[in-house]
Chains A and B, each alone.
Chain A
């Protein structure tokens, strides 16, 4: 009756979200005095999971599952949960995790709590804290079904190392043609770019930057910090930046350690989406901009003067602290 965690990998390597989900699931397993089993798909080396509390890995290796397929993955996760008699299944809230979690919930007739940010308040009844109203509130949710599905928010729990090794076992779920009725034709993904979902640092620009030609300094800052670039909604609506960079209530959520907002006013819809970032910095020439009320650190002034200077200083800092 172990806890089961889905550990996402890409090109055979585990994603940080997978290790975080494992760390978190270990906490639940401990609270329930049981062990932790992971299910991994086409991962090269599953031993890494042992460091984050996984006791056993059900390792699936299949060419048919090379591309993520929500239905097939959900079916495999269900079979793993049944094999392990798992009462709790944990997934991280990556795009793929959010895609398959509700399907897993249907397969297991399990209640599902998404955007969970902390270990259960209690495991019987099973109660978890999650965000609601796009980070404007928290919501304590009780899952009343026998099996529970928990979606762990990004960067909410962090990595937690434990002693021990993960025993790996090959696992062959029985998949049928019905699992493969949605097919991937092509994937379009920048290989060497940090994604907003996985970034430790996000550098974001708003309408205050006046036009797409001025994004060089934002990209430069992102480069120096190893950050992802983002933008406010009007910036993507005007086509200055791609939609995939739009963050906020109607765009992507940000939960990075550091969020740097340049020329962004801090409208309520923008702040809602980035509130989960741990530290927020704003650079804006209007001292009355609402962002100053939401930020930890602020610089009042012209971005076109401040950002190039800051970039030079960040470069020096990085050179010294490399």
Chain B
């Protein structure tokens, strides 16, 4: 089984979010970048398929040279080969088209994406990629088993879950649940050393066009002071929620 894991290079979850160039660009100054958490859950599931079912695992990213440390980290976790499509990602359509070209040529059985990246939260790439490849697609995937060319996937739905079956090739949008938090691996020294020698192939982009453009950014209005209620006077809380906030 050939697996491709799409890795988005995103600001660490604790990052302060600021913008530059007249609020038109994300300010990367002082920001730590990490593997997108949703992708890391999927990557960890891919490692399971590698260990238990002899799968090969490639990782892929659309981005400039600055994403290479993130890709090396994914290699240190255990992926075999990395591919970087050398262009700045601008929207979900452009990224999915660039991925579709390389993924299509690579004849992968399973393509694992995260349900969304935590920077732009587009939630577009997995579905668009599946659509472009005419592959089967399962979003918000919280469980995945592969047997021969058949996949059984569990999808999180509003208020529950459902079990789906599909044949390969399959694209998934994964999230926590596909593996547990405790299954995530911190790369060890040996992994990090090996990762340095693993292939990281840089591919030039096909020049796919974006369908959307981020014009400008804005930060939410600052929050007012919290109103504290005395624990001995909880009637006041109910009064505030009923008469002021009008939410009960």
- Seen from chain A, the residues whose Cβ lies within 8 Å of a Cβ on chain B are 67-68, 70-71, 74, 94-96, 98-103, 105-107, 110-115, 127, 129, 131-145, 151, 181-190, 193, 195-198, 200-201, 225, 233, 237, 243-244, 246, 249-251, 257-258, 268-269, 272, 275, 278-279, 281-282, 292-301, 305-306, 309-310, 313-314, 317, 321
Contacts and interface: CB of A to CB of B under 8 A. Distances in A.
15 contacts: A98-B123, A99-B140, A102-B123, A103-B131, A133-B11, A133-B119, A140-B215, A140-B218, A141-B215, A185-B163, A257-B247, A269-B13, A301-B231, A309-B234, A317-B248
Contacts, number: 270
A104 to B, nearest CB: 9
B134 to A, nearest CB: 8
Interface of chain B, main secondary structure: mixed
Given A102-B127, A298-B229, 5 more contacts: A102-B126, A133-B121, A181-B167, A185-B162, A297-B227
B120 A278 contact: no
Contacts of A185: 152, 162-165
B158 A198 contact: yes
Contact of A246 (B162, B176, B245): B176
Interface string B130-173: 11100011111010000000001001111111111111000000
B245 A105 contact: no
Nearest to B24: A140
Given A141-B214, A189-B159, A189-B160, A112 B124 contact: yes
B128 interface: yes
A293 B226 contact: yes
A250 B92 contact: no
Q: Most B CB atoms within 10 A — which of A269, A275, A282, A299?
A: A299
A139 B120 CA distance: 8
Interface stretch (B60-68, B103-111, B177-185, B198-206): B177-185
A200 B167 CA distance: 39
A142 B215 contact: yes
B238 interface: yes
The 6 A-B residue pairs with the shortest CB-CB distance in the complex, in nearest-first order: A102-B127, A106-B131, A111-B211, A189-B160, A195-B159, A301-B231
Nearest to B213: A142
Nearest to B247: A258
A125 to B, nearest CB: 9
B217 interface: yes
A187 B157 contact: yes
B56 to A, nearest CB: 24
B218 A137 contact: yes
Interface string B216-243: 1111100110111111001101101110
B44 interface: no
Nearest to B127: A102
A196 B176 CA distance: 17
A265 B70 CA distance: 30
A214 B156 CA distance: 26
Contacts of A181: 136, 166-167
B156 A95 contact: yes
Contacts of B229: 297-299
Contact of A237 (B124, B140, B180, B214): B180
B193 interface: no
A197 B131 contact: no
Given A111-B212, A140-B217, A243-B176, A187 B160 contact: yes
B248 A225 contact: yes
A99 B215 contact: no
B91 to A, nearest CB: 7
B8 interface: no
B29 interface: no
B245 A102 contact: no
Contacts of B238: 310, 313-314, 317
Nearest to A317: B238
B29 to A, nearest CB: 15
A149 to B, nearest CB: 9
A102 B124 contact: yes
Contacts of A297: 226-229, 237, 240-241, 245
B211 A144 contact: yes
A218 B30 CA distance: 40
B122 A114 contact: yes
Nearest to A256: B247
Q: Most B CB atoms within 10 A — which of A105, A106, A114, A129?
A: A106
B245 A296 contact: yes
Contacts of B163: 184-188
Given A114-B124, A190-B159, A297-B241, A275 B220 contact: yes
A250 B237 CA distance: 30
Contacts of B215: 127, 140-142
A276 to B, nearest CB: 10
B138 to A, nearest CB: 6
A106 B220 contact: no
Contacts of B218: 129, 137-140
